[in-house]
């Protein structure tokens, strides 16, 4: 079927059941093709239901369901179409892949979103697309959908729009007026990988819209401070995604890139998507399992950089370019920096308490609050939620605790934490490491 | 410079507070009963300080276990006194802490009344805000129950599934672990301002109905002959089965089979909630993943 025919006005077919089957098939194909995008968040929006319309997207996100892979379902995450003129090696919708293709009409997406939302299935819409015809042609359709939802249907639910690489500045600007979040996916964590695996893309085309969105958000904030009524622009910020394991970058390269994106582009989130083998392309690693543990360690590192005051080069350095798969990055850092421990929880600064392995951000805040009332004991710490199994090597309170760190080698502490009584993790990690060994 | 000054913990008693000191509970302790409402409990709190008699127990009258010798003192709910106590709580705690006490009440914890009393009493006798005194077991317990309530409320905001009826009512049934329905009203009213909806708590036999202007508590005759609250197919909107089917299709297709992790799946969505989740109901036909991949080694098979 020629591409232009897919987007002609939707005509109701004579038999409703046939029409229903068709829409169900489209939804199946276009949800299946969109699922590799890891972004799921529906938080941070500031859109209130002030027009007695449908929906409300202020504050906290909500995960409405969870699939059997344990990932959350928050938004109706679909592609407008999986037709694509690009041929990126890592992508299921690449031009040369022989798969069923489909395309929604504008009205179909609007109808699905509204009806799913009314039944409390979803928080809103995540709309992306393969590139058909031209980037602007595609982007224009995406904008038309979100505009229709906002203006004709008074829809105040959450909308996340993926901007199409190469789309014009004006269209991105217009999308930002209706969407709560915009994102441009970098996908490959280095320019070299991008030129090899996605020859039609280039870093410039990705970073330019990213900078444009950043400036749009900043300008919008400044205007809001000055004037009362300013149209919102992507109030939930922008995000991006990096595919992990499709190309040869080290973890150090990845977290350096992440750090520069947070610092330089003010991103709200960087998502990591463990590469799932989709094609037999010779340029890609021939693996059988997605690198889920590596992905998990990258997320932990991401959290350390955003909420725990760590810098990228504290966590990894050229001598240690990869994250330890066996232990979490905070514990790994603590083991390399044993000279700063033990930390006395009754007197230490909040920033230092955050760095104790086994103490999360919530426990750290509680420690600082509770010690104003009473001197803390190990027992209180446990009740506050501190994981003493890891923390006990690195803290003291009132002389309690185990000031034995100095006597143990890094390997000994590591082994005790990993394989100590009741440790189930050890078995899991070994299993996953075995899988890696088989794969390589 | 500041490094040279050691942190000195003041050993002097806390700075005398501007407010009146809490009355000492000097009279003999008593057993109290109330009508089971939150206002009733607030009335009891007032009485405790009025009579200066600490509680041995505070129990709802309907389920009170009476001791052999002691005759419990029953307090009738007094709306005016309750309102006075509710306002007065703000003198010793902030709004969030006060809301936590209401959430503890809704938690249906067997010890909730005495816990609320002990917390209020601690707040009365401490010069500064006690809500962060995690070293105190009662404070931790209140925080913990409030957190459990918050989690259950949040889950209900997520796991409610509406069905549209032919007369345009969106209907959902829930069975939450705690009595969170009163806490859901604000969320759903803001969200679905333009549709009529009803959320029914089947375990506690009451519902929340929004009629396009405001949400109201509604009760039904206890267990009518039609035991099930599920709506029969005839009263549903004609497109309702379609959207249920589409939702199931969507749910199956966003799953990535290579990442299957049932343990995580169940941790996020415990089994006891599946009953009312349309995506977890058995399918007539299973939605198989789209065959859109060319895994290594399968290229040859495709040529057949």
Q: State yes or no: pLDDT of A37 exceeds 60.
A: yes
pLDDT tens-place string over residues A297-320: 999 999 999 999 999 999 999 998
Task: Say which of A69, A120, A347 has its CB closest to residue B256.
Answer: A69
Say whether B34 sits in a helix, a strand or coil: strand
Q: Higher-confidence residue: B13 or A45?
A: A45
Residue ranges per structural domain of chain B: 27-151, 160-237, 239-290
Does B172 sit within 8 Å of A115, measured CB to CB?
no
For residue A51, give the chain B residue with the closest CA: B193
The confidence score (pLDDT) of residue B279 equals: 94
Q: What residues of chain A lie within 8 A of the CB of B279, using their CB?
A: 65, 121
Distance from CA of A215 to the nearest CA of B (A): 31
pLDDT at A281: 82
The C-alpha of B154 sits at a distance from chain A's nearest C-alpha, in angstroms, of 8
Contact residues on chain A for B255, CB-CB shorter than 8 A: 35, 67-69
**Interface contact A35-B256, CB threshold 8 A:** yes
User: Predicted ipTM?
Assistant: 0.88
Task: Kindly list the residues from chain A whose CB atom is less than 8 angstroms away from the CB atom of residue B264.
Answer: 66, 69-70
Q: How far is A319 from chain B (nearest CA, A)?
A: 32
Gap from B94 CA to chain A (nearest CA, Å): 16
Q: Which chain A residue has the Cα nearest residue B238?
A: A16
Band the pLDDT of A412: cuts 50, 70, 90. Answer: confident
Cβ distance A68 to B132 less than 8 Å, yes or no, reads no
Note the pLDDT tens digit of each residue in B236-274: 999 999 999 999 999 999 999 989 999 999 999 999 999
Task: Check CB contact under 8 Å for A119 and B164.
Answer: yes
Chain A CB within 8 Å of residue B159 CB: yes
- B18 vs A93, more confident: A93
Q: Which of A92, A121, A290 sits opposite B293 (nearest CB)?
A: A92
State the best of B9, B125, B156, B158 to mutate against chain A, taking most chain A CBs within 10 Å. Answer: B158
Question: Is B251 near chain A, with CB under 8 Å?
Answer: yes
Question: How confident is the model over A145-191, as pLDDT tens digits?
Answer: 999 999 999 999 999 999 998 899 999 999 999 999 999 999 999 98
Strand duo B163-164 + B169-174: pairing: antiparallel
Give the tens place of pLDDT for each residue, A344-362: 999 999 999 999 999 999 9
CA distance A256 to A270: 12
Per-residue pLDDT band for B100 (boundaries 50, 70, 90) equals very high
Tell me the residues of chain B between 103 and 132 that have a Cβ less than 8 Å away from chain A.
130, 132
Residue B8 pLDDT:
47
Adjacency order of strands within the sheet including A343-344: A343-344, A395-397, A400-401
Residue of chain B minimizing CA distance to A79:
B254
Looking at the complex, does the CB of residue B276 fall below 8 Å from at least one CB of chain A? no
CB contact under 8 A, A52 and B193: yes
pLDDT (tens digit per residue) in A72-110: 999 999 999 999 999 999 898 999 888 899 999 999 999
pLDDT of residue A18 exceeding 90, the answer is no
CB pair distance less than 8 Å for A48 and B160: no
Q: How confident is the model at residue A406 (pLDDT cuts 50, 70, 90)?
A: low
Subunit contact A67:B265, Cβ cutoff 8 A: yes
pLDDT of residue B224: 53
Smallest Cβ–Cβ distance between A65 and the set B277, B292, B294 belongs to: B277
- How many interface pairs between A and B have CB atoms less than 8 angstroms apart? 194
* pLDDT reading at B230 higher than 80: no
Q: A62 pLDDT exceeds 90?
A: yes
What pLDDT sits at residue B5?
47
Give the residue from chain B lying closest to A293, CA to CA: B259
Assign residue A401 a region: left if phi > 0, alpha if psi is -120 to 50, beta otherwise? left
Q: Judge: B253–A31 Cβ closer than 8 Å, yes or no.
A: yes
Question: Distance (Å) from the C-alpha of residue A263 to the closest C-alpha of chain B?
Answer: 32
- Across chain A, mean pLDDT equals 88
| pLDDT over 90 (residue A416) | no
Residue A418 has pLDDT above 80, yes or no: yes
Q: Which residues from B are below 8 Å from A39, CB to CB?
A: none
Tell me whether residues B159 and A64 touch, CB distance under 8 A: yes
Contacts of A28 in chain B (CB under 8 A): 249-250, 253, 287, 290
* pLDDT confidence of residue B265: 95
The alpha carbon of residue B294 is apart from the nearest alpha carbon of chain A, in Å, by 4
**Residue B300 pLDDT grade (very low, low, confident, very high; cuts 50, 70, 90):** very low
DSSP string over B182-236: HHHHHHHHHHTTTSEEEEEETTTTEEEEE-SS-EEEEE--TT-SS---PPPGGGB
Band of the pLDDT at A20, cuts 50, 70, 90? confident
At B213 the pLDDT is 92
Average pLDDT in chain B: 86
What's the number of CA atoms in the CB half-sphere (13 Å) around residue B49? 17
Q: Using pLDDT thresholds of 50, 70 and 90, give the confidence band for residue B2.
A: very low
CATH 3.40.250.10 for the A3-315 domain, yes or no: no
Chain A residue with CA closest to B141: the answer is: A383
Task: Count CB atoms within 10 A of the CB of residue A289.
Answer: 16
B9 touches chain A (CB under 8 A): no
| % of chain B exceeding 70 in pLDDT | 84
What pLDDT does residue B294 have? 67
Amino acid A439: pLDDT: 45
Residue of A nearest to B246 (CA): A24
Please report which confidence band the pLDDT of residue B1 belongs to, taking 50, 70 and 90 as the band edges.
very low
* CATH 3.20.20.70 domain range(s) in chain A: 3-315
Token pair 């890609």: residue: A284
């Amino acid at each position: 079927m020629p591409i232009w025919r897919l987007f002609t006005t939707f005509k109701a077919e004579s038999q409703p059941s046939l029409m229903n089957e068709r829409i169900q098939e489209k939804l199946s194909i276009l949800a299946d093709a969109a699922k590799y995008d890891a972004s799921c968040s529906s938080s941070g929006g500031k859109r209130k239901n002030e027009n007695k319309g449908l929906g409300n997207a202020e504050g906290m996100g909500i995960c409405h369901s969870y699939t059997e892979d344990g990932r959350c379902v928050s938004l109706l995450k679909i592609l407008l179409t999986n037709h694509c003129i690009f041929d990126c090696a890592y992508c299921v919708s690449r031009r040369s892949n022989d798969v069923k293709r489909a395309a929604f009409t504008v009205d179909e997406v609007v109808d699905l979103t509204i009806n799913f939302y009314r039944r409390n299935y979803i928080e809103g819409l995540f709309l992306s697309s393969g590139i058909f015809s031209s980037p602007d042609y595609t982007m224009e359709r995406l904008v038309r959908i979100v505009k229709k939802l906002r203006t004709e249907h008074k829809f105040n639910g959450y909308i996340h729009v993926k901007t199409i690489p190469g789309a014009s500045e004006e269209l991105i600007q217009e999308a930002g007026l209706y969407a709560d979040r915009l994102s441009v996916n970098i996908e490959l964590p280095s320019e070299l990988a991008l030129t090899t695996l996605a020859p039609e893309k280039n870093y410039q085309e990705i970073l330019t819209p990213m900078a444009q969105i950043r400036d749009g958000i900043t300008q919008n904030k400044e205007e809001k401070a000055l004037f009362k009524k300013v149209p919102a622009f992507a109030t939930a910020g922008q995000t991006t995604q990096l595919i992990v394991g499709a190309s040869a970058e080290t973890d150090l390269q990845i977290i350096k890139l992440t750090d520069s994106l947070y610092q330089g582009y003010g991103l709200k989130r960087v998502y990591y998507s463990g590469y799932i083998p989709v094609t037999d392309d010779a340029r890609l690693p021939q693996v059988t399992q997605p690198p889920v543990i590596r992905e998990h360690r990258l997320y932990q590192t991401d959290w350390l950089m955003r909420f725990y005051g760590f810098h990228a080069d504290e966590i990894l350095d050229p001598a240690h370019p990869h994250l330890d798969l066996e232990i979490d990055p905070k514990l790994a850092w603590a083991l390399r920096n044993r000279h700063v421990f033990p930390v006395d929880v009754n007197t230490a600064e909040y920033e230092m308490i955050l760095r104790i392995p086994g103490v999360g951000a919530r426990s750290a805040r509680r420690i600082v609050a509770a010690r104003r009332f009473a001197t803390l004991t190990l027992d209180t710490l446990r009740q506050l939620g501190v994981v003493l199994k890891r923390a006990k090597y690195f803290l003291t309170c009132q002389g309690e605790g185990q000031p034995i760190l100095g006597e143990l080698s890094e390997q000994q502490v590591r082994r005790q934490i990993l394989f100590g009584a009741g440790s189930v993790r050890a078995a899991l990690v070994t299993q996953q490491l075995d899988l890696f060994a088989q794969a390589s | 410079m500041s490094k040279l000054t050691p942190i000195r913990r003041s050993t002097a008693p806390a700075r005398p507070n501007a407010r009146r000191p809490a009355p000492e509970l000097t009279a003999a302790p008593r057993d109290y009963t109330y009508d089971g409402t939150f206002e009733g409990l607030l009335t009891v709190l007032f009485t405790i300080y009025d009579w200066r008699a600490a509680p041995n127990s505070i129990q709802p009258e309907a389920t009170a276990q009476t001791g052999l010798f002691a005759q419990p003192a029953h307090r009738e709910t007094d709306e005016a006194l309750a309102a006075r106590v509710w306002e007065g709580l703000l003198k010793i705690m902030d709004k969030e802490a006060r809301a936590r006490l209401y959430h503890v009440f809704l938690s249906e914890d067997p010890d909730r009344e005495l816990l609320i009393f002990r917390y209020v009493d601690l707040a009365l006798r401490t010069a500064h805000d006690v809500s962060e005194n995690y070293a105190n077991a009662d404070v931790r317990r209140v925080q913990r129950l409030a957190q459990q309530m918050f989690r259950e409320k949040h889950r209900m905001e997520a796991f409610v599934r509406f069905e549209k009826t032919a007369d345009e009512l969106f209907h959902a049934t829930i069975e939450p672990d705690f009595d969170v329905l009163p806490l859901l009203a604000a969320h759903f009213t803001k969200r679905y301002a333009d549709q009529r909806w009803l959320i029914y708590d089947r375990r506690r036999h009451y519902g929340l109905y929004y009629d396009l202007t405001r949400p109201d508590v509604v009760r039904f005759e206890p267990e009518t002959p039609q035991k099930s609250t599920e709506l029969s197919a005839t009263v549903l909107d004609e497109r309702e089965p379609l959207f249920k089917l589409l939702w199931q299709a969507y749910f199956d297709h966003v799953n990535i089979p290579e990442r299957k992790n049932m343990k995580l799946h169940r941790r996020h969505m415990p089994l006891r909630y599946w009953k009312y989740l349309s995506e977890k109901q058995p399918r007539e036909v299973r939605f198989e993943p789209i065959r859109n991949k060319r895994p290594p080694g399968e290229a040859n098979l495709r040529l057949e």
